[in-house]
Amino acid sequence: MAEVALFDVDSLVGDRQMDAEQLEDLASRKAVIRFPTGADGGHLLHAYVDEEIPPSLQQYCDSGSEITSSLILASGRLGFGGVESMYEDFFPNPNIRADGQVPAGEYEVIGYRTEYPEDLVGSAIRQRIGTGGSRLINSPGYLIPVAFVLTIVAFNLSGWIAGVSAIVLSYLAFKLLTRSRSYQQLNAAQRAVEMDYPSIVVAMRSKPTR
């Protein structure tokens, strides 16, 4: 998503994406904190509630991207996701939005985008699954262009039947690979490592009640 947000789920209304005026209204009521990202893509959030950001992660927080704001959570229902998911009747989809529960109240929030050294995450993945595992998990990215070239060659040399056969065989090979137990296990291990490297980090400190 090009813009993600941390928000009070109880403040959402309707069955469609909020417009700019509604988002500004939520911001004025301290019900949303927006994080412009500048480009489409996936984003992982780590939120630390009434605790410090671990030093091992703080070192990768970009101080130039710091956002400070307040967030009021009426019942403690906290949401994070693309702004297009900010409506009451959103159908659950963890790839777009994730909701959680924290103590109700008002929070002072400091947020950062992270910047990691080149290949830091890739190196951590290789340490977890090995060089051979890395090759296997990345093989679909090589299989697709190879299949495309073979299909074009088959069409040119043997006609449309051979071309269609090449497409079918390539599709079956892709499915067999990505559905295999070893591939699924490696994929799960890779995702577990990636979960340790958020793209956005926030510290939420609850304000004392009067």
Range of the structural domain that residue 158 is part of: 120-193
For residue 171, the model assigns a pLDDT of 72
Q: Are residues 17 and 104 in the same domain?
A: yes
How many whole angstroms separate alpha carbon 140 and alpha carbon 136?
8
The number of distinct structural domains making up the chain is 2
For residue 154, the model assigns a pLDDT of 63
Q: How would you classify the pairing of strands 200-206 and 45-49?
A: parallel
Q: Are residues 45 and 131 in the same domain?
A: no
Q: Which residues pair with 139 in a beta bridge?
A: none
Average the pLDDT over 124-150 and give the result: 78
Q: Are residues 8 and 109 in the same domain?
A: yes
Q: Are residues 107 and 13 in the same domain?
A: yes
User: Containing H/E element for 65?
Assistant: none
The enclosing domain of 91 has a CATH number of 2.60.34.30
Closest by Cα among 28, 26, 67 to 45? 67
Q: Are residues 163 and 68 in the same domain?
A: no
Task: Label residue 32 exposed, middle or buried (CB < 10 Å: 0-12, 13-18, 19+).
Answer: buried
Q: Are residues 24 and 124 in the same domain?
A: no
Residue 157 pLDDT more than 70?
no
Q: Are residues 188 and 202 in the same domain?
A: no
Mean pLDDT, the chain, rounded, equals 86
Q: Are residues 102 and 131 in the same domain?
A: no
Q: Are residues 76 and 16 in the same domain?
A: yes
For residue 99, the model assigns a pLDDT of 93
How many whole angstroms separate alpha carbon 117 and alpha carbon 111?
20
Residue 16 pLDDT more than 90?
no
Is the overall model pTM greater than 0.75, yes or no? yes
For residues 128 and 149, the model is more confident at 128
Q: Are residues 13 and 111 in the same domain?
A: yes
pLDDT tens profile 94-126: 888 999 999 999 999 999 999 999 889 989 999
What backbone torsions phi and psi does residue 36 show, to the nearest 5 degrees?
Answer: -60, 135
How many whole angstroms separate alpha carbon 66 and alpha carbon 84?
23
Residue 53 pLDDT more than 70?
yes
Residue 1 pLDDT more than 70?
no
Rg, the chain, Cα only: 22
Other residues' Cβ atoms within 10 Å of the Cβ of residue 87: 15
Residue 22's SS3 state is helix
Q: Are residues 31 and 50 in the same domain?
A: yes
Q: Are residues 106 and 202 in the same domain?
A: yes
Average the pLDDT over 192-209 and give the result: 92
For residues 176 and 63, the model is more confident at 63
